[in-house]
Amino acid sequence: MARPPEDRILLLGNEAIAHALLENGCRVASSYPGTPASEILSALAKLRKERGVEMHAEWAVNEKVAFEIAFTGSLTGLRAAVSMKQVGLSVASDPLMSAAYLGVKGGFLVISADDPGPHSSQTEQDSRLLAMMARIPVLDPSSPAHARELVAAGYELSELFEVPVMLRPTTRVCHACQDLPPGKVLPFPREADFRKSTARWAATPAFRYELHRKLDEKLAAIAAWPRTAPFRANPEAAGPKAVVASGVAAAHAREILREAGLWDRLPLYHVVQPYPVHSEFVSRLLSSHEEILVLEETTGVIEMQLLDRRRVRGKLTGAVPEAGELLPEIIAEAIATFAGTGADTARARDPERGGRRPTLCPGCPHRSSFYAIRKAAPDGIYPSDIGCYTLGMNLGGVDTVLCMGASVSQAAGFYQAYRLSGKQVDIVATIGDSTFFHAGVPALIDAVVQEARFVLVILDNATTAMTGFQPTPATGKTAAGEPAGSVDMEALVRACGIGFCKAGTPSRLPEFIGLLREAVAYSHAKGPAVVIAREPCVMDRSQADRLPAPVNVFIDETCNGCRYCTTRFECPALLYDEEGKRVAIDGLLCTGCGVCLHVCPLGAIREAPPEGKAP
Amino acid sequence: MERQQIVVSGLGGQGVLFVARLLADAAIRKGAGVLTSETHGMAQRGGVVVAHLKVGDFESPLVRESRADGLLVLSAENFRLHRRFLAPSGWAVVNAPPGGLTGGSSRVCAIDADGLAKEFGNLHAINLVLLGYALSGPAGVEEESPLFCSAEEIREVLRRRMEGKEKLLDASLAALALGMKHGKR
């Protein structure tokens, strides 16, 4: 069993995908960060730099743009990849549908990472349904090692049939680590060579019918391509019942069958390509087994392609739960019920729930912004957006979260609805800098045209913090940290037609509250106003030199334990002592931002002399 | 080498993933296969973070309930949440203040890693203090070290990971040693 340690390294699933992209000659890669997909592009950019590979690896402004850049790379004959999380694929669905008809030249992988659970997403949507809608093949990796193999198979498939191929890892593949050999960079000599063909690359509706027909032919052939066909995990097993599984559910099922003593009795088919499911496999499966259990995340995509479903058990029959992750405990139970062996363990319902909720970090500038917003517009409506600052809900500063960029359009929507009822309400929306560039700009243009009246606070911490500190369009750095072009946020806001655009520093709390009050008054009198809350993320090491000098704070004896600071300001460094009935500062957690000096209604939080300790 | 399944649990910022990766590296250096599963995303901002680690010929990256050989808990409040992973014969090492852990069996050992890290002057050291304690054979566990690897193997992993970062390496080795001092050896 021993594996020589010198040629194996620990790779995160996303890193394994990055190594495989490089190994297989990917030359154009683009992405927008989002959990669980973020590390694919960051790892690739790092590898490119370390190994001196001539390739383009970029953080695009959003997933639609990312898709279009990578797709176009493939039109020139180069191998390309776009990566994103599943909700990002929704953003990129417009080019996806059209690209499926046009097809590709160089291999093109659409890597869409799903998040059953969900662990860090708005939805558990199954990207494979969008692949079905677009009519492109999908590959479901079951481990980091498998993801690496499927990158190679995906490129082969894509070039053989001139079709975009979706690779659909899930959180448990993206964020699993496995011992793997490091990737080798092989010579892959290809030059960009775009062959014009307006009937194809600029197809009008008349040609699109023909392209649709061709796509259907490709799919039929792909459903017979041997390399991605389902395989038997346990060829020795025979029996009237069979299990069909894909992705990490197949990995769980293998272990569970062994542990339950069913490995030799219950045939397990591992489906690698859940769409289109191989047609011969479907007919063979249905003719050789009396009952079939399908295990897949998240929707019953394989299941719905088994055309005669009378003997099929799965998501559609309720044998497997539709919502939530298929944890091994759930799979063990489903297999035990299906095999008639009786449940082997009692399982806690919703086992992952509970425990400490996440919160903004000590010293986070967003905390000051939300505190200030509630001071400046205490009865306001607070639409917000996707990022760390969604946690502003702990401070009562976030009322709505829908999807990327929706804070701006929802602010406008609230204004229009209240205007119709003849009511005036303060509306203060928050959006992160990266999210603003991603999808906030068109909504802001719309608000200007429709004269919607609200304040938009752009939380500008000069990074995409939630997903691991990727650059924003204003950062002026490439994915690998080299100098790049940059966009001036104020100039962009003004060019959208905004008359009030002022930047402030949230940690200078009294001034910042004043600025927000000014913006709220302006919004009621004249139209949309923008405040840029500009302060670096305390967790981003690349901005450490921009942080202000720390302030020593202490709490004096006048603290009466009212807990205003721990609930309304909710800094993890402010601890309520149940026994002493007062608040204390955790000196190791405190970053010395000094904002809490302005928060205590009694003024009990005070500044100590810089050198000495609290008196 | 025997197979081992371990769950590391804590809060975002405590270094749960770092501990899991150190152990995974140690497994690779011993020539064993390794699979882990990590928590990324919003939970890393102070929420519940858990890492699963499976050493040996496994295929699924997740530890099932009642299957873990050991539990490393960096925050006592998570013990309630994740003790369901522990096998009946399994051990747990929990960071808890003195008297702060209730409901544990004899194979559940507490160490005040918070207190030790504070004395040490570095809250980021909690994870290595706890790991050091687990490696040194905590009270209540019969084995010399309940983990599949030795302290020296972890030190070697740290030296490789922190090559060229001498100050960080020294602080990490010191934190590990501090935890070990409180164990049996």
**ipTM of the complex model:** 0.95
Query: What pLDDT is recorded for position A613?
Result: 47
Q: Residues A191-242: pLDDT tens digits?
A: 999 999 999 999 999 999 999 999 999 999 999 999 999 999 999 999 999 9
Nearest to B60 among A12, A251, A361 (CB): A251
Assign domain A553-607 to a CATH class. alpha beta
Residue with tokens 């500190």: A469
Residues facing A293 on adjacent strands: A243, A313
Interface contacts (A, B; CB < 8 Å): 145
Half-sphere exposure of A93 (CA within 13 A, CB side): 16
For strands A26-31 and A56-59, give the pairing.
parallel
Distance CA A574, CA A581 (A): 13
Mutant choice from B39, B40, B126, B161 vs A, greatest count of A C-beta within 10 A: B40
Residue B184 is predicted with a pLDDT of 67
Q: Is the pLDDT of residue B137 over 80?
A: no
Find, among A219, A73, A55, A65, the residue nearest to A137 by Cα: A219
Q: Do domains A229-339 and A553-607 have the same CATH topology?
A: no
Omega before A298 cis (within 30°)? yes
Residue A37 predicted with pLDDT over 60: yes
Chain B residues in contact with A332 (beta carbon < 8 A): 64
Which chain A residues have a beta carbon less than 8 Å from that of B39? 119, 175
Of A172, A248, A360, the CB nearest to B45: A360
Nearest CA-CA distance, residue B34 and chain A, Å = 6
Q: With cut-offs at 50, 70 and 90, classify the pLDDT of residue A614.
A: very low
Region class of A606: left (phi > 0), else alpha (psi between -120 and 50), else beta: beta
Q: What was the pLDDT predicted at B185?
A: 53
- Residue predicted with more confidence, A448 or A543: A448
CATH number belonging to the domain at A9-224, selected among 3.30.830.10, 3.30.420.40, 3.40.50.970, 3.40.50.300 = 3.40.50.970
Q: From the options 1.10.10.60, 3.40.920.10, 3.40.1030.10, 3.40.640.10, give the CATH code of B4-181.
A: 3.40.920.10
A1 contact residues in B (CB cutoff 8 A): 1, 31-33, 56-57
- Give the pLDDT mean for A137-151: 98
| Distance (Å) from the alpha carbon of A264 to chain B's nearest alpha carbon | 17
Which of A178, A325, A331, A574 is the best mutation test for B, with the most CBs of B within 10 A?
A178
pLDDT of residue B140: 65
Task: Look up the CATH architecture of domain A229-339.
Answer: 3-Layer(aba) Sandwich (3.40)
Nearest chain A alpha carbon to B20? A177
* pLDDT tens digits for range A504-526: 999 999 999 999 999 999 999 99
**CB pair distance less than 8 Å for A328 and B64:** yes
Judged by CB atoms closer than 8 Å, whether chains meet at B61 and A172 is answered as yes
The residue in chain B having the minimum alpha-carbon distance to the alpha carbon of residue A328 is: B64
Pick the CATH number of A365-546 from 3.40.50.300, 3.40.50.970, 3.40.605.10, 1.10.1270.20: 3.40.50.970
Contact B42 A390 (CB under 8 A): yes
Which band of pLDDT confidence, cut at 50, 70 and 90, is reported for residue A609?
confident
pLDDT at A188: 84
Structural tokens at position A192: 């960009």
> What pLDDT is stored for residue A343 in this prediction?
63
- In percent, the amount of chain A with pLDDT more than 90 equals 90
Instruction: For residue A474, give the 3-state DSSP assignment.
Output: coil
Contact A418, A401 (CB under 8 A): no
Averaged pLDDT for residues A85-97: 98
- Cβ contact, residue pair A252, B62, below 8 Å: yes
Nearest to A454 by CA among A369, A376, A528, A533: A528
pLDDT higher than 60, residue A19: yes
As given in the structure block, the two tokens for residue A213 are 């027909």
Instruction: Look up residue A5 and give its two tokens.
Output: 């340690």
Reported confidence tier of residue A184, pLDDT bands at 50, 70, 90: confident
Residue of B nearest to A177 (CA): B36
| Residues A601 and A559: beta-carbon distance below 8 Å | no
Interchain pair A356, B75: CB under 8 A: yes
- Can you give the pLDDT at residue A615? 43
> Helices then strands (H, E): number in chain A?
21, 21
* pLDDT for A63 beyond 90: yes
- Looking at chain A, the whole-number percentage of residues with pLDDT higher than 70 is 97
Q: Where are the domains of chain A?
A: 9-224, 229-339, 365-546, 553-607
Q: Comparing C-alpha atoms, which of B121, B131, B101, B174 is closest to residue B25?
A: B131
Element (H, E) at A271: strand A268-271
Per-residue model confidence (pLDDT) at position B138: 74
Q: Which of A333-347, A371-385, A490-504, B117-131 has the lowest mean pLDDT?
A: A333-347
List the structure tokens of B160: 């490789």
pLDDT for B2 equals 81
Number of H helices, E strands in chain B: 6, 6
E strand intervals along chain B: 4-11, 34-37, 48-55, 68-73, 86-95, 108-111
For residue A253, how many other CB atoms are within 10 A of its CB? Answer: 30
Say if residues B36 and B20 touch (Cβ distance below 8 Å). Answer: yes
